[in-house]
Amino acid sequence: MKIFLDTANLGEIRRAAAAGLIDGVTTNPSLLAKVAGDRDPMEIFLEICEAIDGPVSAEVVAVDTETMVDEGTRLAAVHPNIAVKVPLTEDGLVACRELSSRDIPVNVTLCFSAPQALLAAKAGAAYISPFIGRLDDISHDGMELIRQIRVIYDNYGMRTEILAASLRHPRHVVESLEMGADVATLPPGVLHKLIRHPLTDLGLAAFLADWEKLGRDL
């Protein structure tokens, strides 16, 4: 089971990596836009790759196969740990097959159904990213999608890794891992929520208050 951080914020990535909490990073154009300003996105991807020893998903922004393959090839040249993210469209699936045949790992993103996940695996995806929270947002059952994909991939020995995405709270994380997702990618806020527990805070406050009464240094 792996945990990725879903952000392009270098400070958050470095801090989580320093504690050994994360195995990789996912980004998307919206997350990049939050931090990029007038910087070259390629520089940002390189900095992220240097901050974490694991896969870093960097997404294409083209919508036609040829340009996706060109962007994906340039993204992959930034660092050996780049996984190129392509959208789950017909052009995206063809680009996935082409990039995968060049030994570039591909993360097929914006997956909202089991048949889409099946086709991404057929196209050679290294990762499939089902978006749990966005399905829940429209009153569908995001977690059920993870279950279906797990069953289908296991039934037919498909090696594409299920990367549970669009996770909005700790229960999403725990449930998707219980369902057999290979990876959960979390926004920093969800990672912080996983760490915190009110009983930990109360217990720590009581320990420190008792120590204070002793009036000693350690």
* Active-site annotation, residues: 85
Q: What is residue 204's three-state secondary structure?
A: helix
Min. distance of Cβ 33 from ligand E4P in angstroms? 12
Spatial CA neighbour of 155 closest among 94, 106, 114, 101: 114
Q: Are 156 and 145 in contact (CB under 8 A)?
A: no
User: For ligand E4P, how many residues bind (rule: CB under 6 A)?
Assistant: 11
CA 78, CA 40: separation in Å to the nearest integer? 12
Min. distance of Cβ 142 from ligand E4P in angstroms? 10
Min. distance of Cβ 204 from ligand E4P in angstroms? 31
Give the contact letters, 145-184, x = binds to ligand E4P (CB under 6 A), - = no. Answer: --------------------xx------------------
Task: Name the segment binding ligand E4P (CB under 6 A); options: 40-48, 90-98, 112-120, 128-136.
Answer: 128-136
Restricted to residues 17-46, the positions that interact with ligand E4P (CB under 6 A) are 26, 28
Task: Name the segment binding ligand E4P (CB under 6 A); options: 32-40, 70-78, 91-99, 126-134.
Answer: 126-134
Min. distance of Cβ 77 from ligand E4P in angstroms? 21
Rg of the chain taking only CA atoms, in angstroms: 19
Q: Which amino acid type is present at position 107?
A: N
CA 176, CA 179: separation in Å to the nearest integer? 5
On the 0-12 / 13-18 / 19+ scale of CB atoms within 10 A, 127 is buried
CA 143, CA 101: separation in Å to the nearest integer? 31
Which residue, 143 or 205, has its beta carbon nearer to ligand E4P? 143
Q: Are 7 and 31 in contact (CB under 8 A)?
A: yes
Told to check if 7 binds ligand E4P by CB under 6 A, we report no
Contact set with ligand E4P (CB under 6 A): 6, 26, 28, 109, 129, 131, 133-134, 165-166, 185
